[in-house]
């Protein structure tokens, strides 16, 4: 697994845990679970949408390396098989387009489940020990 993939995985699934871990400290002096959940939600959402924007920019830059005359369009001479693959990657990836919607849904569900589980653990496991 690439280092970028591992970093993405850690940030994506670890952000609520990190926010919860630093809560109540000088870095994040918030104790309310609702406020912590909102902070986690916005961090995750910004990360997902930002990652999609970075990927979009990267794919667009790769595409424009095949635009030899720099006019923003591709002449038949510039349309090599590699340029066609780059064009397909740029024009047929709807995941980047829908990242704000799917990011909102994923962030909301994941953060809600995370904090529900934290509340259940605090209520039943830690109180009974």
For residue range 65-107, list pLDDT tens digits in order: 877 776 766 777 777 777 778 878 878 777 788 999 999 999 9
Residue 23's beta-bridge partner residues?
28
**Cα(38)–Cα(24) distance, rounded to whole angstroms?**
15
Per DSSP, 27 falls in state S
Domain span at residue 83? 3-126
For residue range 43-65, list pLDDT tens digits in order: 999 999 998 898 888 888 888 88
Residue by residue, DSSP assigns 89-109 as HHHS--TTTTHHHHHHHHHHH
Residues whose CB is less than 8 angstroms from the CB of residue 80 and which lie 6 or more positions away in sequence, other chains included = 66
Query: What is the number of domains present in the chain?
Result: 1
pLDDT at 77: 73
Strands (DSSP E) along the chain, which ranges?
A: none
């Amino acid at each position: 697994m690439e280092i970028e993939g591992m970093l993405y995985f850690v940030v994506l699934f670890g952000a609520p845990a990190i926010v919860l871990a630093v809560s109540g400290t000088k870095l994040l002096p918030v104790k309310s679970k609702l406020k912590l959940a909102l902070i986690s939600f916005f961090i995750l959402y910004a990360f997902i949408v930002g990652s999609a924007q970075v990927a979009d920019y990267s794919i667009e830059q790769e595409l424009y390396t095949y635009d030899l005359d720099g006019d923003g369009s591709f002449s038949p001479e510039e349309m090599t098989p590699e340029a066609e693959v780059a064009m397909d990657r740029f024009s047929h990836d709807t995941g980047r387009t829908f990242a704000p919607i799917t990011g909102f849904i994923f962030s909301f569900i994941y953060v809600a489940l995370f904090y529900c589980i934290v509340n259940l653990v605090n209520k039943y496991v830690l109180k009974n020990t």
